[in-house]
Amino acid sequence: MADDYYKILGVEKSAPQSEIQKAYRKLARKYHPDLHPDDAAAKQKFKEVQQAYDTLNDEKKRQMYDRFGADYERAGMPGGGGAGPQWEFRGGSGGAGGAEGFDFSQMFGGGGPGGAGGFDFSELFGQFGGGRSAPGGGRKARGRAKGEDVQSEVRVPFKTSITGGEMPLRLMRGDGTSEELVVKVPAGIEDGKRIRLRGKGEPGPGGAGDLYVTIRVEAHPSFHRRGDNLHVKVPVTLGEAAAGGKIDVPTPTGDVSLRVPAGSSSGTKLRVKGHGVAVAGKPTGDLFVELQVVLPQKYTDDELAWIEKFDAKHALEPRRDLNW
C-alpha cells in the first residue's frame, strides 16, 4: 500500500495495541516539532507518525485500513476512487448500511449478519453517515483497548510523608507534551509505596489508562522511621543530663515537654507514646528520644583540674562491657 502505517511506526501487522502505543510514544518524542522547530523533515515525519497512530490505535479504523489501505476513509464514498467498490448510501429502510434493501454481505460471500469473516459491515457503513447503525443503537466501543498505564516517581520530603500533603508532578506524555499534575500524598506513606491516579495514563479508544506514582521519601537530618515509630537524637547539656530537667522536643503534632532523668548519659532513651507515625486504620506509633550529652570543645586549666578531681571521686568503668 502507498502509505504503510505499520512500516511508519516500525511494527508488524500483527502487533498488539500496546506495542503500537509504545512505538508511537518513542517516535513522537523523537520527531516532535517542539524539539525541532526549524526542521521541516522532522515536522513531516511527526505528521506521518501521528496519522498512522490515529488509524492503528482505533480498532474500527484499523480494521478498515487493513482491508482498504490508506484511502479507507474514501473507500465507500460516491466517486471516491478508492481501491474497493464504490457504494452509494441512502437513508432508506434497508438493512445494514441502509442501501435500500441490498444485502452487502452477499457481495462478500458473508456468513451471516456480520458479513465477510465476521466483520460487522453495519458498523462500517454507519461511519459514512448515510446508513443506520446495528440494532441496539449507536457506535459502541466494543472491545476497544484502554490506554496504556504510566509509571512515574515523585520525591517527597520526610515531613510530608508523615503528615501528608500535596506534591507537584510534571508528566511527559507520549506525544512529547508535558502535563502538570498534583499528587495527594496520604499521611504515613512509606518509601517505595505507589499511588494510583485513575485515568491519568495514556489516552486510548476505550478510555485513558492509569498513572502509578512511586513515592521516594527524602532523608531527614534528625528523624528517621522504623515501622510506624519515629526515632530522634536530642542533644542535652552536661547540667541537664546530670541534674535532670525539662526539654522541648518537636513531634509531627507539635512540641512536647520531656523530663530528663537526673544522671542521664548519652544513649539514654525516652519513649513518648502516640507521637510517632499516624496511618489511617492503624494505631499511632511512638516517638523514641535518644539523649546525646554535648560538651564544650575548650576548657580552662582550672576546669580541667576540677574535672580530673571529679573523675577521681566518681570512679567509673565506662568500657567494662566493651568486647569484640
Q: Do 52 and 106 belong together in one domain?
A: yes
Report pTM: 0.54
Say what the pLDDT of residue 265 is. Answer: 94
- Cβ–Cβ < 8 Å for 312, 288: no
Q: Do 298 and 189 belong together in one domain?
A: no
Instruction: Give per-residue pLDDT as tens, 254-294.
Output: 999 999 999 999 999 999 999 999 999 999 999 999 999 99
Q: Do 111 and 205 belong together in one domain?
A: no
Q: Do 179 and 88 belong together in one domain?
A: no
CATH number for position 241:
2.60.260.20
Q: Do 22 and 59 belong together in one domain?
A: yes
Q: Do 78 and 96 belong together in one domain?
A: yes
- 94 is a domain residue: yes
Q: Is the pLDDT of residue 29 over 60?
A: yes
Reduce the secondary structure of 239-274 to three states and give it as a string. Answer: HHHHHCEEEEECCCCCCEEEEECCCCCCCCEEEECC
Number of domains in the chain: 3
Q: Is the pLDDT of residue 305 over 90?
A: yes
**Structural domain boundaries, residue 110:** 5-126
